């Protein structure tokens, strides 16, 4: 789970919580290194983070579902 919340509800079931906002590139890089699949719960993901995720998906590092193109409008 990647979130800027101090105590997110998902922490109760997550293996790891990465603290960072939706535009935090450092947190997003940490997330990409820690998981096999990224999904979205909210549309307010920063453009730079979307680019990072799209690149990681294209390189086969992480699967992004749905693809980032759905949010890049």
Per residue in 27-70, pLDDT tens?
Answer: 999 999 999 999 987 778 889 999 999 999 999 999 999 888 88
Q: For residue 68, what pLDDT is reported?
A: 87
The set of residues, in sequence order, having a beta carbon less than 8 Å from that of 7 and lying 6+ positions away, is none
Cα–Cα distance list, 39 to 50, 66, 71 (Å): 12, 7, 12
Q: Are strands 37-38 and 63-64 parallel, antiparallel or unpaired?
A: parallel
* pLDDT level of residue 12 (50, 70, 90 thresholds): very high
* pLDDT level of residue 72 (50, 70, 90 thresholds): low
Q: For residue 73, what pLDDT is reported?
A: 61
């Amino acid at each position: 789970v990647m979130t800027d919340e101090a105590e997110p509800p998902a922490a109760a079931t997550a293996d790891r919580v990465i603290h960072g906002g939706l535009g935090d590139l450092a947190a997003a890089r940490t997330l990409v290194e820690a998981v096999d699949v990224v999904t979205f719960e909210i549309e307010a993901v920063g453009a730079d983070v979307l680019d990072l995720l799209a690149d990681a998906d294209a390189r086969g590092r992480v699967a992004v579902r749905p693809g980032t193109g759905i949010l890049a409008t």
